[in-house]
Amino acid sequence: MRITGIEAIAIDIPLEKNFGGSTYSVLKRSTVITRLRTADGLVSEVYNGDNRAHGLEIARLVNEDLFNKINGLSIFERELAWERMFALTHTYGDRKLLLEAIACVDCAIWDLTGKALGKSVRELLGGYRDRLPIISIGGYYMPGKTLADIGREMESYRKAGMAGAKFKVGGLSPEEDAQRVAAARKAAGDDFILCVDANRGWKAADAIRFARLVEPCNIRWFEEPCHWYDDAAQMARVRQAIPMPVTAGQCEITSHAIRRLVDAGAVDLVNYDASEGGGVTDWLRAAGLCAAAGLDMAHHEEAQIASHLLAAVPHGTYAECFADPQRDPVWQHMWVNRPQIKDGIMAVANGPGFGIELDQDMVRRYRSN
29-49: per-residue pLDDT in tens? 999 999 999 999 999 999 999
**Predicted pLDDT at 325:** 87
Model confidence at 266: pLDDT above 90: yes
CA distance 132 to 80: 32
**pLDDT band, very low/low/confident/very high, at 53 (cuts 50, 70, 90):** confident
**Predicted pLDDT at 26:** 85
Mean pLDDT of 13-17: 90
Task: Tell whether pTM > 0.75.
Answer: yes
pLDDT above 70: percentage of residues in the chain = 99
Task: Give per-residue burial for 96-116: e unless 16+ CB within 10 Å, then b.
Answer: ebbbbbbbbbbbbbbbbbbbb
Look at residues 286, 308, 278 and name the one whose alpha carbon lies nearest to residue 124. 308
**pLDDT band, very low/low/confident/very high, at 228 (cuts 50, 70, 90):** very high
Task: Give per-residue burial for 302-324: e unless 16+ CB within 10 Å, then b.
Answer: bbbbbbbbbbbbebbbbbbbbbb
Mean pLDDT of 231-252: 97
145-188: per-residue pLDDT in tens? 999 999 999 999 999 999 999 999 999 999 999 999 999 999 99
CA distance 339 to 355: 10
Query: Among 17-21, 119-123, 137-141, 219-223, where is mean pLDDT lowest?
Result: 17-21
Mean pLDDT of 335-355: 97
> Pairing state of beta strands 28-38 and 319-321?
unpaired
Helix ranges restricted to H, the chain: 55-60, 67-70, 78-86, 95-117, 121-125, 147-159, 174-188, 204-213, 231-241, 255-263, 280-293, 303-312, 329, 360-366
**Predicted pLDDT at 369:** 75
Model confidence at 216: pLDDT above 70: yes
Question: What fold, for 123-347?
Answer: TIM Barrel (3.20.20)
Look at residues 196, 163, 159 and name the one whose alpha carbon lies nearest to residue 321. 163
Cβ atoms 248, 261 nearer than 8 A: yes
**Cα torsion angle, 136, 139, 144, 147, sign:** positive
Look at residues 248, 250, 203, 253 and name the one whose alpha carbon lies nearest to residue 229. 203
> Pairing state of beta strands 345-347 and 131-138?
antiparallel
Mean pLDDT of 130-149: 97
**Predicted pLDDT at 189:** 97
Q: Give the domain ranges of the chain.
A: 3-118, 123-347
**Predicted pLDDT at 52:** 67
CA distance 186 to 121: 38
Question: What fold, for 3-118?
Answer: Enolase-like; domain 1 (3.30.390)
**pLDDT band, very low/low/confident/very high, at 24 (cuts 50, 70, 90):** confident
Model confidence at 252: pLDDT above 70: yes
Cβ atoms 307, 348 nearer than 8 A: yes
**Predicted pLDDT at 70:** 98
CA distance 366 to 10: 8
Q: What phi and psi values does residue 108 have, to the nearest 5 degrees?
A: -65, -40
Mean pLDDT of 182-203: 97
Half-sphere exposure of residue 110: CA atoms within 13 angstroms, side-chain side: 32
- What's the mean per-residue pLDDT of the chain? 96
- Inter-axis angle of helices 280-293 and 303-312, to 10 degrees? 40
Dihedral over alpha carbons 88, 122, 342, 273 (to 10 degrees): -20
